[in-house]
Amino acid sequence: MSDVTEPMRLPGDPTSRARLARMIRVDHAGEYGAKQIYAGQLAVLGRSRHGDTLRHMQQQEQHHLDTFARLIIERRVRPTALLPFWRIAGFALGAATAAMGSRAAMACTVAVEETIDAHYAAQTAELGEDEGVLRATIEEFRAEEVEHRDIGLANEAEQAPFYRLLTAVIRTGCKAAIVASERL
């Protein structure tokens, strides 16, 4: 098993193996949640002019999810116990923002993808040379998440009602989901 770069550990700090397991667990959970968000948006906007765009992004999230599902098995990482909750919460977030209109759905995409971009950047900075394949995978997925954010911005996300408040709430929820999924 390869290790994450091992900084000086203090008593009680997780081992490099535990940190790596947390990364894979949370990334799997995040991609699962993202797929559910797009499923919720598609349930409302699937027949609109945004349907094909949402399907494209959902397909990319499915690829990310499949990759992390494989890593969960290969690396013997316990998935988060919160997957049933993320299924419901992700779908509800997607459907609720889509029900507010396509701009709100795109604002949701922007908020989620900006949070994931920062999260993936932190992970790649932490991964050691011995995890080059995982780092490259995360960087590839990060680029696609940035593409999704750009799609949201190109589709008038910033013109959504209460854009700043909506995206701030969603970002906060994403950050809380990251912390919970790493540990539970």
Average pLDDT over residues 54-72: 97
Predicted confidence at residue 16, as pLDDT, reads 82
Positive/negative CA dihedral, 14, 15, 19, 24: negative
- % helix, strand, coil for the chain, step of 5: 80, 0, 20
User: Burial level of 108, CB count in 10 A (0-12/13-18/19+)?
Assistant: buried
What is the residue type of 75? Answer: R
Report percent pLDDT > 70 for the chain: 94
Predicted confidence at residue 15, as pLDDT, reads 82
Predicted confidence at residue 17, as pLDDT, reads 87
pLDDT for residue 182 is more than 80: yes
pLDDT for residue 14 is more than 90: no
Contact partners, residue 139, CB within 8 Å, separation at least 6 = 120, 124
